[in-house]
Structures are given as C-alpha cells and as structure tokens.
Structure 1
Amino acid sequence: MLFQYLKYYIISLNYFFFSLKFRSIMTFLTSFCITFFYTPYFIFFLKKNKISQIIRNEGPITHLKKKNTPTMGGIIILVSVFISVFFWAQLSNKYIFYILTTIVLYSIIGFLDDYYKIILKNSKGLIPLQKILLQSIIIMITLIYMFFNDTKNLYIQLIIPFVEKIELNLNFTSYLIISYFIILGISNSVNLTDGLDGLVIMPIIFISIGLGLLAYFTGDINLSRYFNINYIKNTKELIIICLAIVGSGLGFLWFNTYPAKIFMGDVGSLTLGYIISIIAILIKQEFLFLIMSSIFIIEFISVIIQVLRFKYSKKRFFLMAPLHHHFELKGLKESCVVVRFWIISFILVLISLIIL
C-alpha cells in the first residue's frame, strides 16, 4: 500500500513539474528575475563603454537631455527570453523551434542598426534600404521554411462579432505576401513607436498576454470549439514564449519607465515586433493581432502622412511625427503621453479578446 501511494505521489509530482501551467509560471519568473537583477549590471557595462543613445537633431528639444542614456537594452530582454524559453519550453515543439532559431538572426539586424548609430555618432544607423533588405531575407526564409513544414495551416481566420468565423484559404504566394507585410510592417512600426520612455514595452506586454491566451485557446481542442476558432495542435506551447516576453518586459520596464535609465534600442524593438508577428501568424489570428497592434500601426501611418504631406505641399500635417512627438509638442508631458498610449493599447487588446 505504501509503495503504491509513493508511486502515485511521484507520478503526480512529476506530472505537475512538467505541466504547462508550472512551466509557464517558471518561465515568467525566470525571465523577470534575469532582467530585473542583471539589467543594473548591464547598464553599468554600457555606461563604462559609452554605449549611449544618439538623439535625433530634428527631434523634440526636451529629448537632448537623454543623449547619455545607455541603449541596446533589448539585448538583456532577448537573452532572458531565450534562456527562460530554452529551460522551460519543449524544444521539440516545432513552433518553439521556429521562433528561437529566427530571433537570433533578426536581432542581428537591430544590433547592427544600433552599432552603426553609436560608431558613426548619428541617429540614422543602417540605410533604410539595407535594413529592409536584411529583414526581407530573414522573413522570407522563415515563412518558406514554415510553409514547407506546415502546409495544412495555409489560411487566415477572420473573427467577426456575432458572425460565424470566416476562413480565407490562400495559395502559397498570397500567404507569403500577406505574412511578409504583417511581419515587416509591425516590426518596423514597433521600432518607430519606441521614442519615449516605456512607451513600447507595455503595449508589447499587453499584446503578448493576448497572444498567449489565443495560442492556448487555439491549441486546446475543447476551447477552440467553444471560441469557434480552428484547432491547431501544439500551439499551447507558445504561451511559454509569450510569458517570457511578459516577465522580461516587466523587469525591463522597472528601469525603462520615465525617467529611463536604459533604452531598448532597435535590437529590442525590431525583434520584439518580429516575435509577436510570428506568433500571430502561427496561430492564424492575424486579423485580431492587427487590432491589438493598432497603436503601432497608427504611429507608422502618422509618419507616412507626414512625409507625403511635406513632400507634395511642403507643409506638415502633424507638429512632428511619429504621433507621440506631436502630442509632446502640443504640451503634454512625456509620462502623460506614455500612460495614455498604454491605456489605448490595453483597450485594443481587450477589444480583440471580446471579439473572440
């Protein structure tokens, strides 16, 4: 009897430690602790090597005081995400494999962009054409690899309130084009939005929570039926990556909130935008993802409007683009703009989940 009891206890304990619930909690705590405890050392290292933010001359005058703030903090975020996912995720899961292998490549682009800014002492970094070309190569390789390993999931679901789900079946070319522009657009939109202390990381956290829930629902056959979405086997595991971003993001926000002691840099903003885009594509929730990410899209559109208006009429539509700078010049304090953007982002994620 005692032997049977111990056997049952050991099996139960083993099941608990390998369960998704336990691994998710540990992923969150691991990523948070790594970022929270090691960021001060990373800040010291960056200051010692004079790796600091290069401020745009055409930006708000109030931002000139930030010129000595360490940058490239995205490195500590990505390292903590990678380590926590490596330890707690099932590495045999193909979706985990897609993301871990490609974020390393994509982060190199952001790293090079930051590196050139610091070495050349200008705020431009890589030439836009160089950046887009490098991004395009990695995105295309990723999508083609995903396609040949997962051809049965070549569709997009449109979730419309009070209406049956609409499933758009795509051919390879359509899938490639749509997915390419989602990844390229969102990753660069996140990069453009990263202009105020703490502005980007909190919306990334909100979106990661939303995507984590969607990944869990999609990977559970009963919940997928309940929410009227297509069941995709093994996507539950993506919640590990989402919670790694949440934990790491909160740890980083401790030092990135106004007044920031460290900036994320392109290595962080570009790569985080890439990760959340890939997750949305893997779980086939591109439509809801675009609603969640609308704050980034609006920022991107504000830049396009500003450029086109100035090109053809030599007048500015906004006082300054991206949009967050417009509100700064209207007299709002930086912290006020940031928190209001957070609120809007939270509402957008909530709307997406309500639609589901």
Structure 2
Amino acid sequence: MLVLLFGWLAEYFSFFAVFQYLTLRGILGVLTALSLSLTMGPLMIRRLTELKIGQSIRDDGPQTHLVKAGTPTMGGALILLAIGVSTLLWGDLSNYYIWVTLFVTLGSGVVGGLDDYLKLKYQNSKGLSARWKYLGLSLIAFIGVTVLYVLAPTETETTLYIPVFKDAFFNMGIFFIPWAYLVIVGSSNAVNLTDGLDGLAIMPTILVAAGLGVFAYLSGNSVFAGYLGIPYIAGVGEMVIFCGTIFGAGLGFLWFNTYPAQVFMGDVGALALGAGLGIVAVIVRQEVVLAIMGGVFVMEAVSVILQVASFKMTGKRIFRMAPIHHHFELKGWAEPKVIVRFWIITIVLVLVGLATLKVR
C-alpha cells in the first residue's frame, strides 16, 4: 500500500525513492509488526482474560501443566493481525505472491480459530474434529497452490530443487499441486504439534522465517541467484516482507509468551504460521530446506506418527508421551530446559540450511 504512495511521492520528492528498496521495506515490516505486537499485546491479553478465553489442559499430560489452565489463549490472532497489517503496508500489492501467501496463512488461521472456539465452548482440548480440521486446511492449501500453478510463468516455479546437488532438480508439472499441498498442510500441523510449551513453537518459527527470508531475497535477485546456483524467480523477493512480518510479530508475541506464558497462541496462530512457512518455502522453491531448518517441527510430527503407529501395531509406546517435548518433560527435564535446547537445535539447523547456499 505504502509502496504505491511513496512511489508517487518520489516523483516530486526524491527522498521517498528510498522506500522502494526491498531491504528497507523488509526492515520496516519487521519493526511495524513488532510494534503492533508489543502495543496491542497487553490490550488483547486483558480482553481475553475478561472474556474468560482460557486454555484447557490435557489431564493425561505432565502434571506441571495443570497450573496453566485458564491462561488466555487465541493470542495467535494478535500475530496474524500484525502480520496482515504490516504486509499490506510494506508489501507490493501488485505482486500476486503476497496475496496467495496472505490467503493461505490467514485462511489457515480461520480454521485454527474455529478449532480454538470449539475447545473453549465445550471446555476440553479436543476442539474441531480431525476430519473437518484437515478438510479446512486442505481446501485453503489446494486453492493457494492451484493459483500458483496456474499463474506460474515458467517451469522454474514448478520444479523441485534438491539442495547441495547442483544438477538435482525435477520438473513436477501438474504433480506440483499435490506436492505443494502436502508441504503446506504438513508444515501447518507440524508447527501446531510443536506448540505445547511456553515459547517452544514461536522462536523456531521466527528463526525459520528469517532463513526463508534470506532465500527469498537471493532468489528474487537474478545476479545473486545465478552466482549461488539457486532458481531465480522474478517477484519472489517480496516474500522478504512477509517473512519479516512473521519475525517481528513473532518476536513481539514471544515477549508475552515466554515462560511462564501470559498468553498462548492457540491453533489460530500455530496452524496459520505453519502454513505461512510452508507456502513461502513452496514459492521460493526450497521445500527441502524448510524440512532442514524446521527440523524441530519435523521431529515433533514424526514422534507422533511413530508413537501412534507403534501403539496400534504392537500395543507399546516408543516415547513416554508424544509429541516428543512431553517425553523429555516426563523424563525430568524442566520446561525451560526443553524449550531453550529446542531453540538451540533450531539455530543450528537454520545455519545448516543457509549453508546449502554455498555447498553445491
């Protein structure tokens, strides 16, 4: 929105031309989203408390979590508000990647919000049935990736690239749609499964968003993309703005979500942020790198799959409890220790993901 305004003003006042630079708009996106989160956070927490929108806690989980019952939830709405407003302010609204990304992210947030609402209404942790939740997420993801496929100007946008191996790439054609769908829905649910401890999900989300932002910037620049041997995709640099708003909004939310949390993001935040990371990875053609940098999310999801499969086939559990962060809690790790160690793992994995830019 402001891009158009400053572009018009630049015709009369050269100073405003500086706002056309992607790096500056990315920084301003971060700062705007951060300011909105920090400013509106206390107001939202107060309002959620007044409305008695409190978290329901599983009674079969770690007993230390029972004291969290009643903590305001659905704080993810604050994150989405900050992301949406900041992206619309600093993004180039003529770029269809911006609109597809916002649609998938906010649409997934609506599904998560309905899930949170049902949990609150019936005062339990079940919420929306898995069938309807996945149907909603699938519909949003399918529409988003179909638009990307239809509007893709070249084969680059539908080609799967394998990091490290310079010549390992495969044009998926129509199979891009189911592949991208799986990436988005899988990422959405993986982040949701990770969101079980104070600040556990939001910090890895921030870090992965920052890493994807670097890929977006480089992939959107023909010189850098050619030098690094990564796919050049015209217009994809605008994803820097979106990734920056996730970073800023998430950092502001962490101020209130850090242990002991004053507010939880709920599914409205977790499902949306996971879908947001997934759609960005699809757009910049770095789905494999997303799996590397988001290794904590992958680990959490795989732990649940293995636990369920093992119990159904053998009647035995692999972990004391899944997702795996609860396993470590039940082994005696204090909650802050689990959280910070998972953060450290994510920092290392994001660095590994960024290293693939040069290792080819």
Normalised-by-shorter TM-score class: over 0.9
Aligned runs of 1:219-234 on 2, under 5 Å?
219-234=220-235
Instruction: Tell me, yes or no, if structure 1 residue 155 matches structure 2 residue 156.
Output: no
Task: Assess, with a 3 A threshold, how the Cα gap between structure 1 residues 25 and 328 changes in structure 2: closer, same or farther.
Answer: same
Equivalent residue letter for 1:20: L
Q: State the shift of 1:68 in Å.
A: 1.3
Aligned runs of 1:239-258 on 2, under 5 Å?
239-258=240-259
| Structure 1 counterpart of 2:47 | 45
* Distance of 2:139 and 2:12 partners within structure 1: 49
Equivalent residue letter for 1:274: A
Q: Is the 8 A contact 2:55 2:73 kept in 1?
A: yes
* Distance of 2:224 and 2:331 partners within structure 1: 46
Pick one of 55, 69, 72 that aligns with 1:70.
72
- After superposition, the CA RMSD in angstroms is 1.5
* Distance of 2:168 and 2:221 partners within structure 1: 20
Unaligned runs of 5+ in 1: 1-6
| Structure 2 counterpart of 1:79 | 81
SS at match of 1:117: helix
Deviations 1:249-296 (A, max 9, x none): 110001100000000100000000001100010011111111111111
Aligned runs of 1:68-147 on 2, under 5 Å?
68-147=70-149
SS at match of 2:59: coil
Task: Assess, with a 3 A threshold, how the Cα gap between structure 1 residues 9 and 283 changes in structure 2: closer, same or farther.
Answer: closer
SS at match of 1:63: helix
| Structure 2 counterpart of 1:266 | 267
Unaligned runs of 5+ in 2: 1-8
* Distance of 2:138 and 2:101 partners within structure 1: 16
| Structure 2 counterpart of 1:3 | none
Task: Assess, with a 3 A threshold, how the Cα gap between structure 1 residues 63 and 167 changes in structure 2: closer, same or farther.
Answer: same
Task: Assess, with a 3 A threshold, how the Cα gap between structure 1 residues 143 and 9 changes in structure 2: closer, same or farther.
Answer: closer
Instruction: Tell me, yes or no, if structure 1 residue 15 matches structure 2 residue 27.
Output: no
Q: Is the 8 A contact 1:165 1:228 kept in 2?
A: no
Deviations 1:181-215 (A, max 9, x none): 11111110110110000000000011011000000
Q: Is the 8 A contact 1:110 1:267 kept in 2?
A: yes
Q: Is the 8 A contact 2:160 2:169 kept in 1?
A: yes
SS at match of 2:94: coil
Q: Is the 8 A contact 2:192 2:271 kept in 1?
A: yes
Q: State the shift of 1:18 in Å.
A: 2.6
* Distance of 1:165 and 1:194 partners within structure 2: 37
* Distance of 2:222 and 2:228 partners within structure 1: 10
* Distance of 1:189 and 1:64 partners within structure 2: 24
| Structure 2 counterpart of 1:4 | none
SS at match of 2:254: helix
* Distance of 1:142 and 1:82 partners within structure 2: 17
* Distance of 2:26 and 2:302 partners within structure 1: 36
> Which range moves more in the overlay, 295-304 or 146-155?
146-155
| Structure 1 counterpart of 2:213 | 212
| Structure 2 counterpart of 1:352 | 353
> Which range moves more in the overlay, 211-220 or 17-26?
17-26
SS at match of 1:335: helix
* Distance of 1:165 and 1:267 partners within structure 2: 39
Equivalent residue letter for 1:304: I
Task: Decide which structure has the larger Cα Rg and report it.
Answer: 1
Amino-acid identity (%): 44
SS at match of 1:237: helix
Aligned runs of 1:301-312 on 2, under 5 Å?
301-312=302-313
Task: Assess, with a 3 A threshold, how the Cα gap between structure 1 residues 207 and 261 changes in structure 2: closer, same or farther.
Answer: same
* Distance of 2:314 and 2:148 partners within structure 1: 44
* Distance of 2:143 and 2:210 partners within structure 1: 27
Q: Is the 8 A contact 1:320 1:326 kept in 2?
A: yes
Task: Assess, with a 3 A threshold, how the Cα gap between structure 1 residues 83 and 9 changes in structure 2: closer, same or farther.
Answer: closer
Deviations 1:94-135 (A, max 9, x none): 111111233332211000000000001110101111111111
Task: Assess, with a 3 A threshold, how the Cα gap between structure 1 residues 19 and 151 changes in structure 2: closer, same or farther.
Answer: closer
Equivalent residue letter for 2:137: Q
Provide the TM-score with structure 2 as the length reference. Answer: 0.94
Equivalent residue letter for 1:347: V
Instruction: Tell me, yes or no, if structure 1 residue 29 matches structure 2 residue 60.
Output: no
* Distance of 1:305 and 1:8 partners within structure 2: 57
Deviations 1:229-254 (A, max 9, x none): 11100111110000100001110001
Provide the TM-score with structure 1 as the length reference. Answer: 0.95
SS at match of 1:156: strand
Equivalent residue letter for 1:76: L
Instruction: Tell me, yes or no, if structure 1 residue 187 matches structure 2 residue 181.
Output: no
SS at match of 2:170: strand
| Structure 2 counterpart of 1:169 | 171
* Distance of 1:287 and 1:8 partners within structure 2: 40
Equivalent residue letter for 2:66: L
* Distance of 1:74 and 1:306 partners within structure 2: 28
Instruction: Provide the aligned length of Structure 1 versus Structure 2.
Output: 347
